[in-house]
Structures are given as C-alpha cells and as structure tokens.
Amino acid sequence: MVFWHPRGFRTLRALEELIRRHAQADGFAEVRTPQLLRQPIWEASGHWQHFRENMFVANDALAVKPVSCPGHLEILRRRAPSYRELPLRYSELGLVHRNEPSGTLHGLFRLRQFTQDDGHVFCAAEQVEAEVARFCRSLSTLYRALGFERVLVSFASRPDERAGSDEVWDQAENMLQQAAKSAGLTPEHVPKAGAFYGPKLEFALPDRLGRRWQCGTIQLDLVLPERFDVDYVDAAGARVRPLMLHRATLGSLERFLGVVLEQHDGRLPAWLSPDQVAVLPIEPAQHDYAQELTTELERVGLRAVSDLSRESLARRVALAHDGGTPYVAVVGRRESQARSVSLRHAGEQRVLALADAVRELCLACAPPL
C-alpha cells in the first residue's frame, strides 16, 4: 500500500479530478459504496466462491471490497428504474483491496490497495452495441489526450472457473464480439482470461521500454444482474432483467501513474506535475512580490511554490529542475518594478507582464480534457 507524500498526493488528486470530469462528460453519475460488505452480498456476486483467496476477510461475516460491482448493483436494486432511464451509468473512484501474493507486488504497478476508476452501465440488450462503441471512442480520446497513441486490444473469453451456464456465456461472448466488431476493433483472442462472470475487452498501453500494462477494460455480464435480482420496468409494465457492462478507463490510478512516470522518464507533463510553477525571487527585497505572484497563481488553480531560501538562484533553479517542476518564474528588482515575470521553460526564457504570465501558465498547465 502506498504512503502518499504531499507532492505525490497532489499528482494523484490531479489524475482523480481529470477522470472524474471525464466520467461525468460520458454521462456517469458518481456514487460511493462501503468498504466493508457482508458475506451474503459476496456470495450473491460470486466473489466468495471464486475470488475469496484474493480478498481480505475481516471476520466470518465481513470482507473488504476488491471491486465496487456489488455496491452498484445494490444501488440499482433499490432504485428499480424504468426503461426510460436506461442506460443507467454509475461511476466510482473506489478504493479497493486485493490480497495479492507478496512475490507479485511491484511498486505502483501491482499493489494490495489501489484506486479503481470503476463504472457500470445497466442497459437493455439492444443498447449493448452502442454502449461498447461509445466506451471505445471515449477511451481512445482519453488515451490520445494523455499521450498514448498505441493501444493493444484483446478479447478474453470464458475461464475454467466461472459462474453462469454455457448458454449464458455463449450469448455474452457473441454479443461482446459483435459489439467489438461494430466498434471497429480487431482484438487478439486470449482464451480462458475472462472474469468469472463474463467475457471482456482489455486495453493495454505499452511504455517506452515496450512493457505492456493492462489499463482499460469493458466486460459484458449476464450473471450478476440475475444473482442480485435487479430489474427494470419495460414499456408494457413487465419487469425485465438488465444487462450489465463493467468498465474502467485507467483501471488502477496508481498503476497508470507508474506507466506515465516510465513514459516520461520521471518528468511528468505540466498538468500532472505536483508543482507546476516554482517562483524564485533573486533577492530578499523581492520576497513580497514573489509571494504575491505565488498567491495569484494559486488563486487561478495552479500548483505553485515559492522558494525564499538563502541558496543561490542557480542552486534554486537546479533544485526546481531536479524536482520535475516544468516552469520557473524568476523575479528580480527589474521584474518587481515593472510587475513582470522572467519565465523559464524547456531551456527558454521570456519576460512577460504579470497578467500575461498568469494567463500563459493557465493554458500551459491545463488538463488535456
């Protein structure tokens, strides 16, 4: 499990905010579900039978959640929606726990506690194709905005250890394969790698070293809606079982941060950097102006820090650079008098009026979506 220090936590929060906005733009309503759920819920979901060795069981009646699916099903069951409300989309930045073997743990890439950008779509059978295509388009836009042009797609079919009949699996696999084809995908088939409740499409991102990291996924589930006895009311007033799509865009946010750090050799893009601007006064006489600039940058939502230490300017610039801060704003006597900023970035230096510098930094450090 991660100890998030202040700078790392700022980066995690920036990523969470981006994913939260992305889910909202995709029509998902954000929810939050309990960390602990009782055994009967996990028995209904099948995790007690098929996933228990990977769960942290608090006692004979409670377990810490490894996924958010049962909680979302409970929310839907209490809502009992009409067909007019479908598709219903719930999202959650869920903190989940899985009892991974110690030998498989690997920095941010494989943890026992992580944040999953979980989402579930409840829809009618005729809506599945459109929802899968919608997800694939949205995911492609997100990955490109985050700097990943190459995405590897696979289709994972039924595992040996699974819930549901062969007929249910035949239907689910055929529907998901057809939806993938309609979305323009030609996924690689990976036999026996599906979830125990349904087949899935997996989206993996290669880092600059060529390693492949599975991030996004969409899974078609005909099993859990039946087990949780959820339904909606159709146009004729009859109760009908919805289909369920499990989706994640980044999967584990911690793993994705690890991939991004590898991709950028430890120097994060400006929107994700823990400190976006370092404000450095040349002399103590400019401390007040440096603080004013820092306050203004923070007011407009930028992550700015001011270094008022007695180190030399060259040393403070080097420290900001070593810390991965993309922009350095230097203020001396001349800048203080003219109310300007000497802005440094990627080896270039320009003098801008205060308002122009703030405006340019807002644009340069804005999230990609």
Which pLDDT tens digits describe the chain residue by residue (369 residues)?
A: 999 999 999 999 999 999 999 999 999 999 999 999 999 999 999 999 999 999 999 887 899 999 999 999 999 999 989 999 999 999 999 999 999 999 899 999 999 999 999 999 999 999 999 999 999 999 999 999 998 989 999 999 999 999 999 999 999 999 999 999 999 999 999 999 999 999 999 999 987 778 888 999 999 999 999 999 999 999 999 999 999 999 999 999 999 999 999 888 888 999 999 999 999 999 999 999 999 999 999 999 999 999 999 999 999 999 999 999 999 999 999 999 999 999 999 989 999 999 999 999 999 999 998
Of 26, 47, 65, 69, which is the active-site residue?
A: 69
Of 162, 246, 247, 344, which is the active-site residue?
A: 246
**Which residues 6+ apart lie within 8 Å of 123 measured at CB?**
86, 87, 88, 131, 242, 243, 245
Q: Say how far apart CA 305 and CA 279 lie, in whole Å.
A: 6
The interaxial angle of helices 354-364 and 287-299, nearest 10 deg, is: 40
| Token pair belonging to 24 | 């909202």
Q: Say how far apart CA 153 and CA 217 lie, in whole Å.
A: 9
Annotated catalytic, 118? Answer: yes
Query: Domains of the chain by range and CATH?
Result: 6-263 (3.30.930.10), 277-364 (3.40.50.800)
Annotated catalytic, 246? Answer: yes
Annotated catalytic, 123? Answer: no
Annotated catalytic, 215? Answer: no
**Which residues 6+ apart lie within 8 Å of 253 measured at CB?**
12, 15, 16, 19, 93, 114, 115, 116, 117
pTM of the model: 0.93
Q: Say how far apart CA 294 and CA 303 lie, in whole Å.
A: 9
184 exposed, middle or buried (CB, 10 Å; 0-12, 13-18, 19+)? exposed
Of 26, 118, 275, 307, which is the active-site residue?
A: 118
pLDDT at 262: 87
Annotated catalytic, 120? Answer: yes
Of 98, 162, 247, 344, which is the active-site residue?
A: 98
- Give CA separation, 303 vs 38, 264, 273, 365, in Å: 41, 20, 8, 9
Q: Say how far apart CA 198 and CA 87 lie, in whole Å.
A: 19
pLDDT at 266: 83
Of 22, 116, 158, 276, which is the active-site residue?
A: 116
Of 22, 112, 200, 344, which is the active-site residue?
A: 200
- Give CA separation, 240 vs 169, 219, 227, 270, in Å: 19, 20, 14, 48
pLDDT at 98: 96
pLDDT at 86: 97
Of 22, 120, 158, 255, which is the active-site residue?
A: 120
Annotated catalytic, 69? Answer: yes
